[in-house]
Amino acid sequence: MGGGLRVEYVAHVRFDAEKKAVVHPLEEHLLEVGRLGGKFASAFGNEDWATLAGIWHDLGKYKGDFQEYIRQVTGYERDEAEEGGPGKVDHTAAGAIHAVERMGLMGRILGYLIAGHHSGLPDWIKDEASGRGLQDRIKDRQHLELALAGEPPQGILNAVLPKTLPCGKAISEEHCHLWIRMLFSCLVDADFLDTEAFMDLEKASLRTAGTGLAEFRDCYNRYMGEMQAVSADTSVNRIRRQILDECRSHATWEPGFFSLTVPTGGGKTLASMGFALDHAIQHGKRRIIVVIPYTSIIEQTAEVLRKVFGDEAVLEHHSNLDPDRETKAAKLATENWDAPIVVTTNVQLFESLFAARTSACRKLHNLTDSVVILDEAQMLPPEYLKPILSGLRGLVDLFGVSAVLCTATQPALVGRIGGDKLQNKESFEGLPAGMVRELMTSPDGLAKQLMRVKVERHPKRDQPCSWEEIAADLKELEQVLCIVNTRKNCRELFDLLPESAIHLSALMCGEHRSEVIAGIKAKLKVGDPIRVVSTQLVEAGVDLDFPVVYRALAGLDSIAQAAGRCNREGKLAEAGRVVVFVPPEAAPIGLLRKGEDATKSLVRARPDLVEALSPEAFRTYFETFYSKVNSFDAKDIQALLAGTDAQRFQMQFRTAAQRFRLIDDSAQKTVVVWFEGARFKSRDLLEELRKYGPHRKLMRRLQRCTVTVPDRAWKGLLDQGAIQELMGPDGKGLGLWGQCVPELYDRTFGLRLEGPAFQGDEYIC
């Protein structure tokens, strides 16, 4: 290479408008990634670690075979008629080996970052999928020798070693993996951004400098003032104003953990945002991240916040985005959460905290110095509760995060969780007593003030009611919502009601559900008769206001959420009615059944608590519920990420990431259905897919027309010829499945699954 002349070492090559090759010098790239990564890590006191990771991350690109590869795959310095080129060349091992040789045991930290900056954080011991682990890769010194043969600059090879402690302190093994992942985030984001700045000038130009939160407080104050000016002077609205004022009055409290315990309908979404804004400005926080359990809720919350702060301020990041609301700049920001206000899901946040992939980890460093609002905190999954609370403690203790546990049904997360012993696993210490500060002076008093319903047990008490009996009750009521535990129950009850009744379940695609819910609200507003049977998908984030709600026996938190759809605005002359009945069959085995059993125990011991729906009731309920959980770390995530003293920095990052799945998608499939909505027709989108292939905007729209089904139901549909694989313009399968017979999707029920393979209780929504 070069025939004795000075070799020009290349990081990347692009072509200008005249198709001339433009070279990104390797040394320039290494130094700039080091600078950027160091800037990101300075937020938590480890600029020197991320700087060195950046300087060494592409050391392997000094290898001759890589330089040959980059020229061939780009066409740089080769004859246009030349065919093909060599396979990809490993350029990540050399820097990892160099780090270990220069730093010894501590070099393994940089080894993980450098070796994984393209393929993701590796396991220490080889994983079954790739057959490669960091332990083996750093032994293959040939990679470093080949890089050294390229004579990298001494300033690169002998860069200054880091001296700082993790986050400025000696951290425990429990949180070491989080610190490494944060450094990894700094490296991969810096690498992406510098590469993008060279390769795609237009895309890079769309990125804007981060905007401080101070200017958004004026937007918030103006919006809240306008809203309060036009709101009726009701007792409910007066209490909502008190909640808001009390939240904001505590914004000066020192950063850490907070709880906001407000009954449903108390305006906690906007009140928590008021606290977060004032607290962030007071303590120099950089952004606010609102975390929500369901995508069905996130869309409504994001829409409210856009009205307050404007479209450009709010980034909505989840798998079901509406592409019509997504600007080009927003698409870029989703990669690294570089926005002042982010609305995301439990899945996005917590799977990223335990992720190995670069795309998932890239945004993590932007969690530093943020306010995280965990909406509906009671829905944190119990089987992952131990690693989740560990991750949250790490963010608060080490990375300047303030976390707000926001819910009407506050879970018992302080102190010992799970009692003395569980069936298979030890119980564990949750958040330390005194660490979580409540923003409401008197949550119990607030619960009494905002109690707009009367919770009553069905006249049959503990005896199961038949669906015929419940249907007879519902027929006697003009406006009523009945929430049941499974899709099967929903269909069975609906079939016994008059034709005017409305069915809601997740067998209906998202676009279909949105249209039906809008119709329900319209009928309620004008007082028309309406009977709705739904799964629990309406229990959080769907602002319905019925005078009567029936709820099949379930966890007390679910009953409280159902009560939040009853007399929500407090406009009834008397309290709304919430009738709890025992359905003909118990809830499916698992967490839903454990919640039902915990409620039964509470009803027997303290029926007064159940009727009051008070904070004390939820503390007692969750203590009972958690005592029934088999394991709070069902996949042994923490054991994979924290070794003994003799095994420092021997983490199984990739294996832990593969196991940490809040939604197990291994036993389910997604089907694109035929739905003709007011905004678009899915069959037109499918035709576009067939003609032009997948692209981001198209796939986001199609996701609004999908239904998730169990594997066995999917196989039954496939065998019947009711669905088929979707094809691209080249005639090849896309690994996606779509409806292909008209009778499969129904305007009332959604996807029809009447065959023997469908049991109806696989999914509760």
Rg over CA atoms, the chain: 28
| Alpha helical stretches, state H, 142-234 | 142-148, 154-157, 173-199, 201-205, 214-230
Q: How far apart are CA 422 and CA 634, in angstroms?
A: 12
pLDDT digits (tens, 9 = 90+) for 585-643: 988 888 889 999 999 999 998 888 888 888 889 999 999 999 888 899 999 999 999 86
Please, how many CA atoms are within 13 Å of residue 597, restricted to the half-sphere of its CB?
14
pLDDT at position 535 = 93
pLDDT at position 608 = 86
Average pLDDT, the chain: 87
The segment with the largest mean pLDDT, out of 209-218, 409-418, 456-465, is 456-465
pLDDT digits (tens, 9 = 90+) for 106-130: 999 999 999 999 989 999 998 655 5
pLDDT band at residue 426 under the 50/70/90 scheme: low
pTM, to two decimals:
0.87
> Taking CA 436 as the corner, what is the angle to CA 435 and CA 441, rounded to the nearest 5 degrees?
130
pLDDT of residue 435 exceeding 60, the answer is: yes
pLDDT band at residue 238 under the 50/70/90 scheme: very high
Strand-strand pairing, 750-751 and 745-746: antiparallel
Could you tell me which of 455, 475, 442 has the C-alpha nearest to residue 564?
Answer: 455
Could you tell me which of 388, 370, 380 has the C-alpha nearest to residue 315?
Answer: 370
Question: How many of the other CB atoms lie within 10 Å of CB of 488?
Answer: 20
Task: Put the strands of the sheet holding 479-483 in their side by side order.
Answer: 453-457, 576-581, 548-552, 479-483, 530-534, 502-504
pLDDT of residue 84 exceeding 50, the answer is: no
Q: How far apart are CA 712 and CA 704, in angstroms?
A: 23
pLDDT at position 4 = 44
pLDDT at position 762 = 44
525-553 average pLDDT score: 92
123-138 average pLDDT score: 80
Angle of helix 591-605 relative to helix 556-563, nearest 10 degrees?
Answer: 80
| Residues 6 or more apart whose Cβ sits within 8 Å of residue 754 | none
Residue 667, classed as helix, strand or coil, is helix
Residues 617/556, Cβ–Cβ less than 8 Å? yes
Angle of helix 615-627 relative to helix 591-605, nearest 10 degrees?
Answer: 130
| Residues 6 or more apart whose Cβ sits within 8 Å of residue 567 | 452, 453, 545, 546, 547, 575, 576
pLDDT digits (tens, 9 = 90+) for 746-760: 999 999 876 444 444
Beta bridge pairs of residue 531: 480
pLDDT digits (tens, 9 = 90+) for 178-214: 999 999 999 999 999 999 889 887 766 666 655 678 8
Beta bridge pairs of residue 453: 576
Q: What is the DSSP letter of 455?
A: E
Please, how many CA atoms are within 13 Å of residue 598, restricted to the half-sphere of its CB?
26
pLDDT band at residue 540 under the 50/70/90 scheme: confident
pLDDT at position 86 = 39
Residues 169/391, Cβ–Cβ less than 8 Å? no
To which residue do tokens 């490296």 refer?
187
- The beta strand positions in 484-607, using DSSP E, are 502-504, 530-534, 548-552, 576-581
pLDDT of residue 5 exceeding 70, the answer is: no
pLDDT band at residue 424 under the 50/70/90 scheme: very low
Residue 425, classed as helix, strand or coil, is coil
Could you tell me which of 258, 256, 224 has the C-alpha nearest to residue 241?
Answer: 224
539-551 average pLDDT score: 89
Residue 648, classed as helix, strand or coil, is coil
